[in-house]
Chains A and B, each alone.
Chain A
Amino acid sequence: MHIIMDVFNWLIAAGPTVLLPVIITIIGLIFGLKITRSFKSGLTLGIGFAGIKLILDFMTTNVGPAAKAMVDRTGVHLTALDVGWGSIAAVTWASPIIAILIFGILLVNIILLILKKTHTLDVDIWNYHHMAIVGVMVYFVTKNIWLGIGSSILMALITFKLADWSQPIVESFFGIPGVSLPTVSALSSLVIAWPLNWLLDRIPFMRNNKFSIKDAQKYLGFFGDSMIMGLIIGMVIGWLAGYDLMKVMQLGVSMSAVLVLIPKMTSLFMEGLMPISDAAQKWSEKRFKGRKLFIGLDAAVVVGNQDVITTALIIIPLTIAMALILPGNSVLPFADLAVVPFRVALVVALTNGNLIKNIIIGLVVTASLLWCGTATAPVLTAIAKSVGIKLGANSLYISSFAATSMIQSFIVYFAFTWHPLISIPVLIIAFAGIWYFFDGIKHVNKNMEMQDAVTD
């Protein structure tokens, strides 16, 4: 045991670029991949992490001083730079406890499926990072591994149930049957959208209006283009920082480069994890053969919808404006403006494309992202530093629209770190009540329940 701990500590000291290949190779072997295949997967993730680290260093050395100058000059107090979900995912995968969390989440899915308590088969290992980061953060704060694992397990439970409950609106609005979306980055908005939509429906005008905006894409399309977005935001920050024209333009191109390069690095993580996801899929197909299940897919499959894009293109500029005026906010929106479509996709499905409701609910979701992001930026920053990401000499924090900026993850994180003995039971009871409402009273997945009953 002593030797294992020594090896483990040595790996942690070596940093994520060494730890990741080793851990992922082991995970791959457990999933039955050949050693060469799983080692290449692991190495790919290590490379992805090295890439993310490079870009983050580049981003913070460029925008850090500018953001600081902007704060000093204008009094705009935005000190937590949104480095994007990809960077956060990289930090998550680099955690020493990631392997335990991944198997914990997978086990929750399998057990729920066997007990017929969920209909969603989620073997998209990649997207587990949304559930894992909460465990990583709880473990980092409490130093208690069980609280860490527990929080990720609860995240998983909530995620699979939200995926079940939202499946009918996904099917009816986007027209994709048999698919659910256990992607936290999209589901989390429903925590706000369900009650708020119900409330708005009490107002006849809200319920019945049929506003639509034509040509939103024509006039606002550049808000969806990372290259141009990065350039504009970089130049505005430079200008607010009081830079001269040359430095303004340099910062613009640098920030544009960041927004284009981060996804390229992040896709290495996806590529490395693909063989493992494939193996998990094959295994589960065999295990649950003949049973009809919702196939859990990444929410990426629905964000191309025109109503989603229109809503996102309106929300993106409003998000920047809100960051400036929202009291108590210190998140500087940047890299994750690119994934606003994910945050609004299920809102749009829920309201059946009601644009006015989409914008209202979308803005409340945005405010929650900014506030929760502000509240948890210091912890996230400390974790990033602990895995070797340098953030320059500036007292700059990092944040994003992912991790505990999302309301679902924030609530779970808060429950496990505030007064765990009180807040965890309260959260579990509240969730059980919601579970009873959806499955016991409303029977939202009626067809699946009937099928399960027949095969019993």
Chain B
Amino acid sequence: MPARILVACGNGIATSTVVASKIRSFMEDKGLPVDTTQTKLMEVPGKVEGFDLLVTTGEFDGKTHGVPYVKGMPILTGIGADNTFNEIYKIIKEKEG
């Protein structure tokens, strides 16, 4: 089963679509396809459990229930995006063993 990533932004539509689809194509190129689910930031605490990774496009300091968390803003601005992608890759790679 591919790793599951929860991608959250303000309304679960706009920026999370951009970030989710960029993560999907990046991971696919790396040979580690992932599933992404989009949601609103306000719904993260109630939804995040059971996911392998949480990525948010903005500031978030709610509960993550132990799910690893990566800030996705660089993927939007393009500044420092490589580091963010690598961070995501590392976390998923470790999960998959």
Interface residues of A (CB under 8 A from B): 86, 126-127, 174-176, 178-179, 217, 221, 224-226, 263, 266-267, 270-271, 274, 277, 281, 295, 297-306, 309, 312, 338-339, 341-342
Contacts and interface: CB of A to CB of B under 8 A. Distances in A.
13 contacts: A179-B77, A217-B62, A270-B13, A271-B17, A298-B14, A299-B10, A300-B11, A300-B16, A300-B57, A300-B58, A301-B58, A302-B59, A305-B58
A281 B15 CA distance: 15
Contact of B17 (A274, A281, A302, A304): A274
Given A302-B59, A304-B58, A342-B10, 18 more contacts: A176-B59, A178-B79, A221-B46, A225-B43, A225-B46, A263-B40, A270-B17, A271-B21, A274-B17, A298-B9, A301-B58, A301-B59, A304-B60, A304-B62, A309-B42, A309-B62, A338-B40, A342-B11
A342 B10 CA distance: 8
A24 to B, nearest CB: 16
B57 A301 contact: yes
Interface in B1-53: 8-18, 21, 38, 40-43, 45-46
A301 B73 contact: yes
Interface of B: 8-18, 21, 38, 40-43, 45-46, 56-62, 73, 76-79
A298 B13 CA distance: 11
A4 to B, nearest CB: 34
A263 B37 CA distance: 12
A342 B16 CA distance: 15
A273 to B, nearest CB: 9
A341 B77 contact: no
Interface of B is mostly: mixed
B17 A224 contact: no
B13 A221 contact: no
Given A176-B73, A224-B43, A295-B77, A304 B11 contact: no
B41 A303 contact: yes
A299 B59 CA distance: 11
Contacts of A178: 77, 79
A372 B15 CA distance: 28
B10 A267 contact: no
A302 B10 CA distance: 8
**5 residue pairs, one from A and one from B, having the closest CB atoms:** A224-B42, A300-B10, A303-B10, A301-B58, A304-B41
Contacts of A226: 40, 43
A341 B12 contact: no
